[in-house]
Structure formats: structure tokens, C-alpha cells
Amino acid sequence: MKNTHHLGAIALALIVAGGAISETSAQHRGRANVRALQVDENADGLSDGQVLRHRGGHRSDRSAITAQLTAAQRSAIKEQIGALREGGASAEEISSTLAAELNAAGVELPEGFADRAATREARRTARQAQREEIKSLVEGMKADGATRAEIRQALQDAGYQKPQRTQRGHRGNSTRDRAQREEIKSLVEGMKADGATRAEIR
């Protein structure tokens, strides 16, 4: 009889413990659901946690902005900006138009967005102009019968140097360095197409 009472007590204890565990699991799921509901408290269509992570860099800001646009909106804005570029609009005009279009689409822009957009656009224009200068210089010298060595020297004299490695062994990451790498890559590919040897390219 004592054994029966003892087993009954154990069973009752297990039932109570099981109920406590179930309640704890339910509470945990409830908290998870609350967190899920709160990830977009400001109703901007973007995870608030994602916004916090994006505060670390402007590139992430642009990704967050793009995520708030539909494919049709992105296409329309891209087309409009392209038309402004072809029409010779200034960096400030392009950035202002971009900011206005994004605001009209319901996108909440971070502080200083227009200024950063204008800076990026100005750098883009400078890179394109530099590439055109190099292309024109190389093609003109080729037409005059210049050797590859003469072309390389002319590029160096014009200030188009191969980016130097930093102390950590990485190439420079400035806008000018990146632009020069693109220009050098284009030049090397052209020389390869003309049948230049590795020694000549170096």
C-alpha cells in the first residue's frame, strides 16, 4: 500500500512538473511572438533590427532604401536618373531629383542623404571623365604609331599610376585608387588583345 501511495506521489509530481514546463514553453513562444510583432514597430516596411544594423554604413543605408521600393519603382527611378545624366544634369540636380522621387514613394530617407548622393554622383562623373581621357589618349597614340612602352610612359606622365599597396598589404581603397585600377585593367586588356607579351604589359 505504501508503494502505491509512493508511486502516486511521484506521478503527481511529474504531472505538476510537466505543467510547469509546458507553461514555460508557452510563455517563451508568447515572448517570441511579441518580438516578431515588434520588429517593425514604426511600420516602415523594414525590420527595425535591420535598420539598426544598417546604421553602420551608408552602403547599407542604400540597401535598406532599395528594399522599400517595388521593382517598378526602382526601374522608373533608374530610368529618370539615367535621363538626367545623359542630359548633363549636375550632381546636385540628380541627387535632389532622387531624394524627391524616394520621398514621393514613401521612403523615409536618412539624414544627409541628398548630400551623400551628390558626392557619389560627382565622383561617378569624375571617374567616367577620367576613363574617357585615358581612352582618348591611348587611341590617339596608337593612331600615331606609338609603342606600348610610350603609351605606358604617357599614362604615367599624366598621373595615372598603378595604386600602391598599403602597409597591411592591401591596395588603396580610395575612389581615385579604384578608378585607376579600372583604367589600368582596361589598358591591360587592350594590350592583351593587341598581342602584347607579359613583359611588355609590365
Residues 6+ apart with CB under 8 A from 115: 95
- From the centroid of its chain, how far is CA 27? 39
Number of domains forming the structure of the chain: 2
pLDDT 10s digits, 148-164: 999 888 888 888 765 55
8 to each of 4, 53, 170, how far by Cα in Å?
A: 6, 55, 73
My answer on whether 129 and 166 are in the same domain is yes
Measure the CA angle with vertex 32, ends 26 and 37; round to 5°.
125
- Per-residue pLDDT, 108: 87
Residues 39 and 48 sit within 8 Å (Cβ to Cβ): yes
How far apart, in whole angstroms, are the C-alpha atoms of residue 91 and residue 111?
18
* Residue segments in the chain with a per-residue pLDDT below the cut of 50: 2, 16, 20-26, 28, 30-56, 166, 168-171
- Per-residue pLDDT, 139: 92
Per the structure block, which three cell numbers stand in for 103?
Answer: 520621398
My answer on whether 55 and 94 are in the same domain is yes
Entry field: residues in the chain: 202
Domain that holds residue 148: 123-202
Euclidean distance between the first and the last CA atom of the chain, given in angstroms as a whole number: 98
My answer on whether 175 and 130 are in the same domain is yes
Final residue before a domain boundary, out of 60, 89, 111: 111
Residue 27 domain-assigned (yes or no): no
Q: pTM of the prediction?
A: 0.48
- Per-residue pLDDT, 65: 84
- Per-residue pLDDT, 56: 47
